[in-house]
Amino acid sequence: MPATRSSYHHGDLRAALVAAGVDVVRERGPDALAVRELARRVGVSHNAAYRHFANRDELVAAVAQVALVAMTRAGEERLDAIQDPDPRRRARRRLHEVGRSYVDYALAEPGLFRVAFAAYPSQTSESAGPAALDDELAVAGPFLQLCSILDELAESGFLAAEARPGAEFVCWAAVHGQAMLFLEGPLQGLTDAERRPLVEALLRTVDRSYGATSGDVSALD
């Protein structure tokens, strides 16, 4: 049964509303998010819910924060597992893994993946990002994970220094585009066994294109 108004302590209601929002997004997608709907789910008045979220944008930002934190943590766990003494090979393997993690999260959590970018903080400057996304992991997000790895590639000499500026946008567009093709485009009917080679082919293409900037044509094991 839904909780009653009196059962919430200070701060608990906001968390309950966000958790309900995550459930709604998983069930019906970001378009279904509405403050009044969540108030009904949680069992409180509309006015009580609006004390925590003045409008739908604030609600979307809060649920997006949850999605970004989960997405970032998933990527970090997989990146931390890569241990390679060679800095160039390690950076290349990390680039592959962050791409795989990105697509895997999109397929595992399509609703949360979509809502994450409905309120994604701008990363074009150090000061960018809405105050609602104040969690460190959410503000960093998968985009800055990618930027950090590309910096490692440049430092290792695999990616030429002159090719580093803007490389994150090309790489992100490629992986995000593939994820959306799997979710909503002509590739949405593929099985995991059919998708996996396409993901690996894309990541190999990105790897080769970056290696070409420095003349490194070696294949990644």
Distance CA 221, CA 203 (A): 13
Q: What is the pLDDT of residue 138?
A: 52
Q: What is the pLDDT of residue 1?
A: 41
* Domain extent listing, the chain: 5-54, 65-212
Q: What is the pLDDT of residue 46?
A: 78
Q: What is the pLDDT of residue 131?
A: 37
Q: Write the DSSP symbol of residue 221.
A: -
**Does 5-54 carry CATH code 1.10.10.60?**
yes
Give Dmax over CA atoms of the chain in angstroms: 67
By the 8 A CB rule, do 119 and 61 touch?
A: yes
Which ranges of the chain have pLDDT less than 50?
1-6, 10, 122-134
**Does 65-212 carry CATH code 1.10.10.60?**
no
Q: What is the pLDDT of residue 12?
A: 85
HEC profile of the chain: CCCCHHHCCCCHHHHHHHHHHHHHHHHHCHHHCCHHHHHHHHCCCHHHHHCCCCCHHHHHHHHHHHHHHHHHHHHHHHHHCCCCCCHHHHHHHHHHHHHHHHHHHHHHCHHHHHHHCCCCCCCCCCCCCCCCCCCHHHHHHHHHHHHHHHHHHHHHCCCCHHHCCCHHHHHHHHHHHHHHHHHCCCCCCCCHHHHHHHHHHHHHHHHHHHHHCCCCCCCCC
Query: pLDDT, tens digit, for every residue of 73-125?
Result: 999 999 999 999 999 999 999 999 999 999 999 999 999 999 987 766 544 33
Q: Whole-model pTM?
A: 0.84
Number of Cβ within a 10 Å radius of residue 60 = 19
